[in-house]
Amino acid sequence: MRVEVDVPKCVASGQCVMLAPDVFDQRDEDGMVVLLDAAPPAELHDAVRESATLCPAAAIRLGES
């Protein structure tokens, strides 16, 4: 799995961080998404897919690597 984030689209809701904290974080100053792992291990794929689905701004894109 390959993960990409579109930071300008992010609305800082934090859903991704709650669902996949090993893959996503938020900047302290404005809450915008920070991608920690663009190629997460298989055991995190379900949480990352759910994060992408629930992102209110559709700022998370997934691809297969």
The pLDDT score that the predictor gives to residue 23 is 98
Residue 5 backbone phi and psi in degrees, to 5? -125, 145
Output the tens digit of pLDDT for each of the chain's 65 residues: 999 999 999 999 999 999 999 999 999 999 999 999 999 999 999 999 999 999 999 999 999 87
At CB < 8 A and 24+ separation, what contacts does 38-45 make? Answer: 38/2, 38/3, 38/4, 39/1, 39/2, 39/3, 39/65, 40/1, 40/3, 42/1, 44/20, 45/1
Amino acid making up residue 12: A
At residue 38, the 3 state secondary structure works out as coil
